[in-house]
């Protein structure tokens, strides 16, 4: 199996309304139910929105279990993998920004704890969250999938490590936000980084971002994207709630890599 049907979902989650946020996810998936989905990618903080008090609440086990169970039923019903972009979790008194991959049977088969916390440009994620320390590449029934989250995209070595471990497709859930007056600038950076990570690493690169206003001063930048290893944008969202779909061919990655000295790329 080399062709993979991918859906990336972009939403503006409502803080304090987890069930409504999950219902939005279900509605988007059901709109594409006739496309034989292989993989659905959800944004960072899709269930909670961007709110530190909400993060601390949703990190509790009962909320984690509710989200994973809900998405597991959707994955099984639609026979698709689902990347639960990130769900805050708590372990031994520490919070982690964690992305979880569910298989077609609705079972969690892997999780990735965000390594590069947003601690720059005024970000304070490191003050309430603990960084992960493990690169994650998962073998699926269609190929090897690498996982990153949001600010990871600014660190090229992270993606080289994913490729070293065999990643052919890299997923990037995000809550890429900016002050309202800088949104267009940050959108431009986001688009460039998506395409660059695809080309740099000879992978398909799939991002799922939040959109809309976070509060009166900050907004999420939208523009979720599916980019090919030659830099072509196969699908891109705008600034509104939306879902984008594309069929990718992992044989194309393998073909390009056969023509390129991968030892030079990964070092």
Helix (H, G, I), strand (E, B) or coil at 51: coil
How do residues 199-238 score in pLDDT, each as one tens digit? Answer: 999 999 999 999 999 888 889 999 999 999 999 999 999 9
Q: Which of 129, 150, 177, 221 is catalytic?
A: 150
Assign residue 155 the CATH number of its domain. 3.60.110.10
**Residue 164 CA to chain centroid, in angstroms?**
20
Has residue 148 got a pLDDT over 80? yes
- 74/7 Cα distance (integer angstroms): 14
pLDDT of residue 215: 87
Q: Looking at the 3D structure of the chain, how many domains does it have?
A: 1
User: Could you confirm whether 3 is annotated as catalytic?
Assistant: no
Whole-model pTM: value is: 0.96
Q: Which of 44, 89, 125, 168 is catalytic?
A: 44
- pLDDT average, residue stretch 174-192: 93
- pLDDT average, residue stretch 133-157: 97
Alpha helices (runs of H) in the chain, residue ranges in sequence order: 18-31, 52-58, 61-78, 125-128, 156-164, 183-201, 250-258, 262-266
DSSP per position, 77-95: HHT-EEEEEEEEEEETTEE
Q: Which of 111, 114, 144, 211 is catalytic?
A: 114
pLDDT of residue 120: 75
Contact 176, 220 (CB under 8 A): yes
pLDDT of residue 232: 96
User: Could you confirm whether 150 is annotated as catalytic?
Assistant: yes
How do residues 251-261 score in pLDDT, each as one tens digit? Answer: 999 999 888 76
Element (H, E) at 173: strand 169-174
Query: Residue 118 — very low, low, confident or very high, per pLDDT cuts 50/70/90?
Result: confident
Angle 68-100-49 (CA atoms, 0-180°, nearest 5)?
Answer: 75
User: Could you confirm whether 125 is annotated as catalytic?
Assistant: no
Q: What is the overall mean pLDDT for the chain?
A: 94
Q: Which domain holds residue 77?
A: 3-266
CA–CA distance from 138 to each of 83, 93, 144, 185, 254 (Å)? 11, 27, 6, 33, 17
């Amino acid at each position: 199996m080399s062709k993979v049907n991918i859906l990336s979902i972009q939403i503006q989650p409502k803080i304090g309304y987890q069930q409504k946020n999950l219902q939005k996810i279900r509605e988007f998936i059901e709109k594409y139910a006739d496309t034989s989905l292989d993989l659905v990618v959800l944004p960072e903080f899709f269930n909670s929105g961007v709110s530190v008090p909400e993060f601390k609440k949703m990190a509790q086990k009962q909320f984690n279990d509710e989200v994973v169970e809900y998405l597991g039923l959707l994955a099984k019903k639609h026979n698709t993998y689902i990347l639960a972009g990130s769900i805050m979790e708590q372990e031994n008194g520490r919070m982690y920004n964690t992305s979880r991959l569910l298989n077609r049977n609705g079972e969690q088969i892997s999780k990735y704890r965000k390594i590069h916390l947003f601690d720059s440009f005024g970000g304070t994620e490191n003050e309430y969250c603990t960084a992960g320390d493990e690169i994650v590449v998962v073998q699926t029934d269609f190929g090897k999938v690498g996982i990153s989250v949001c600010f990871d995209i600014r660190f090229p070595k992270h993606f080289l490590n994913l490729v070293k471990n065999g990643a052919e497709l890299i997923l990037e859930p995000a809550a890429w936000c900016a002050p309202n007056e800088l949104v267009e600038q940050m959108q431009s950076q986001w688009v460039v980084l998506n395409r660059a990570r695809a080309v740099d690493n000879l992978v398909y690169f799939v991002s799922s971002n939040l959109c809309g206003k976070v509060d009166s001063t900050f907004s999420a930048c939208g523009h979720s994207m599916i980019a090919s290893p030659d830099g072509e944008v196969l699908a891109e969202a705008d600034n509104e709630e939306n879902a984008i779909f594309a069929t990718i061919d992992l044989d194309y990655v393998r073909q390009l890599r056969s023509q390129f000295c991968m030892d030079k790329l990964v070092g």
